Amino acid sequence: MEPEQIREGYLVKKGTLLNSWRAVWVVLSEDGVEFYKKKTDRSPKGMIPLKGATLISPCQDFSKRMLVFKVTTENKQDHFFQASHVEERELWVKDIKRAITCLQGGKKFARKSTRRSIRLPETVNLAQLYTLMKNQDDGVKELKLEQDNRVFNHCFTGATVVDWLISKEKARNRPEALMLATGLLNEGFLQPAGDLSKEGAEQAQETAFLDDTNALYYFADSGFFCEGYSSDEDVLVKEEFRGNIVKQGCLLKQGHRRKNWKVRKFVLRDDPAFMHYYDPSKGDDPLGSVHLRGAVVSAAEYVPDAKKYDIDGNLFEIITSDEIHYFFQAATAEERKEWIKAIQTVSNTGK
């Protein structure tokens, strides 16, 4: 009997022999993790057995890479994966941990009930706390703050976080709030933005987070960016990134010149309405952007040259206001529906 598939999607994986990172299609089953060069490949590049395995998240072995988790097999072989945003990492980590636990106990994999508990557990769930902090109405407010001739967008101070934790009764006092904030920092949910907060994090003391009005931080998957006063042109370019992040994740995108298809990480922002795309295996500098104001998005059943690259199903198209056509493939029909709905909303409301 074939093992049941639990989760599948794109992740960035570090090579086992080389230090290169590549986007791969990952399939989690009850007893292992398979990864493929392409979603359409029939044979996996490798398989990670989960019996006797351990998982560490976040994995901080790579200072320049966020949202990494590590799976170590029973024979002590390490495998490193990187997600495109916090929520995606947490979903993968939760399911892999549960699969490992079920194997250890000889039980069948079964998802826990998603029904919300009325009371928060006494032991703080940092992922749940992070979600509350990001709530646009009742969470920590993201601001544009100036410091040392630089402008930090979509960030907040350490003191603001501590104040919020106390005001929402997540901590009884400032020392307790500081320990919670340090946990969020160590887990990769919060990131240091300015020089002061970076120094605090690098000192690796018991409370690496700073309860300070001059220490700046940002949400790991927010629209944070820093700009100087170098030129008006630089500020104009950065204007694209001021919008709130509506949706993000990996899609296949057709290239404009060669018509080949590559996995790209996409970040959809609402005002101004832009969808930036990145090489998920590299840094945070975008490869390009799609201006969505007035754009039309729809499902597509046929894309020129797609069959040549074995691309079929869950396709959609964006036609911009200046009539540039972009073609994409989502991992599932449901994901395609979610992207189309989000892009339609942004193109109609964003400037």
Residue 115 lies in a domain: no
By residue range, what is the domain housing residue 54? 5-105
Q: Work out the burial of residue 117: count CB atoms within 10 Å of its CB; fewer than 13 is exposed, 13-18 middle, 19 or more buried.
A: exposed
Stretch among 6-15, 43-52, 102-111, 270-279 having the lowest mean pLDDT: 102-111
Stretch among 5-14, 103-112, 209-218 having the lowest mean pLDDT: 103-112
Residue 182 has pLDDT above 50, yes or no: yes
Would you state the pLDDT for residue 202? 74
Residue 291 lies in a domain: yes
Residue 237 has pLDDT above 80, yes or no: no
Say yes or no: 184 and 274 in one domain. Answer: no
Residue 309 has pLDDT above 80, yes or no: yes
Say yes or no: 316 and 341 in one domain. Answer: yes
Q: How many domains does the chain have?
A: 3
Would you state the pLDDT for residue 118? 29
Say yes or no: 59 and 160 in one domain. Answer: no
Residue 50 lies in a domain: yes
Would you state the pLDDT for residue 234? 46
Say yes or no: 245 and 211 in one domain. Answer: no
Say yes or no: 99 and 138 in one domain. Answer: no
Would you state the pLDDT for residue 205? 58
Residue 115 has pLDDT above 60, yes or no: no
Residue 120 lies in a domain: no
Residue 20 has pLDDT above 70, yes or no: yes
CATH code at 73? 2.30.29.30
Say yes or no: 192 and 276 in one domain. Answer: no
Say yes or no: 144 and 98 in one domain. Answer: no
Say yes or no: 220 and 289 in one domain. Answer: no
The mean pLDDT of 197-220, rounded to a whole number, is 83
Task: List C-alpha distances in Å: 251 to 159, 282, 328, 336.
Answer: 38, 16, 7, 9
The mean pLDDT of 144-173, rounded to a whole number, is 91
The answer to whether residues 93 and 57 touch, using CB atoms and an 8 Å cutoff, is yes
Residue 121 lies in a domain: no
Say yes or no: 222 and 148 in one domain. Answer: yes
Residue 232 lies in a domain: no
Would you state the pLDDT for residue 111? 56
The mean pLDDT of 146-166, rounded to a whole number, is 90
Say yes or no: 212 and 287 in one domain. Answer: no
Distance CA 344, CA 350 (A): 10
Looking at the DSSP bridge assignments, the partners of residue 216 are 157
Stretch among 40-49, 214-223, 291-300 having the lowest mean pLDDT: 214-223
CATH code at 218? 1.10.10.10
Listed residues 227, 254, 269: the one ending a domain: 227
Residue 162 has pLDDT above 50, yes or no: yes
Would you state the pLDDT for residue 124? 65
Residue 65 lies in a domain: yes
Average model confidence (pLDDT) for the chain?
Answer: 85
Listed residues 192, 227, 262: the one ending a domain: 227
Residue 70 has pLDDT above 60, yes or no: yes
Integer-rounded Cα Rg, in Å, for the chain is 21
The answer to whether residues 151 and 226 touch, using CB atoms and an 8 Å cutoff, is yes
pTM: predicted TM-score of the whole model, two decimal places:
0.75
Structure tokens at 107: 């039980």
Angle, to 10 degrees, between the axis of helix 174-186 and the axis of helix 126-133?
A: 100
Would you state the pLDDT for residue 320? 94
Say yes or no: 323 and 278 in one domain. Answer: yes
Residue 126 has pLDDT above 50, yes or no: yes
Would you state the pLDDT for residue 350? 65
Task: Give me the count of residues in the chain.
Answer: 351
Task: List C-alpha distances in Å: 170 to 14, 109, 181, 219, 322.
Answer: 37, 33, 11, 18, 49
Listed residues 71, 105, 139: the one ending a domain: 105
Which of 201, 173, 176 minimizes the C-alpha distance to 187? 201
Three-state SS string over the chain comes to: CCCCEEEEEEEEEECCCCCCEEEEEEEEECCEEEEECCCCCCCCCEEEECCCCEEECCCCCCCCCCCEEEEECCCCCEEEEECCCHHHHHHHHHHHHHHHHHHHHCCCCCCCCCCCCCCCCCCCCHHHHHHHHCCCCCCCCCEEEEECCEEEEEEEEHHHHHHHHHHCCCCCCHHHHHHHHHHHHHCCCEEECCHHHHHHHHCCCCCCCCCCCCCEEEECCCCCEEEECCCHHHHHHHHHHCCCEEEEEEEEEECCCCCCEEEEEEEEEECCEEEEEECCCCCCCCCEEEECCCCEEEEECCCCCCHHHCCCCCEEEEECCCCCEEEEECCCHHHHHHHHHHHHHHHHHCC
pLDDT in tens, 259-307: 999 999 999 998 889 999 999 988 677 888 999 999 999 999 989 888 8
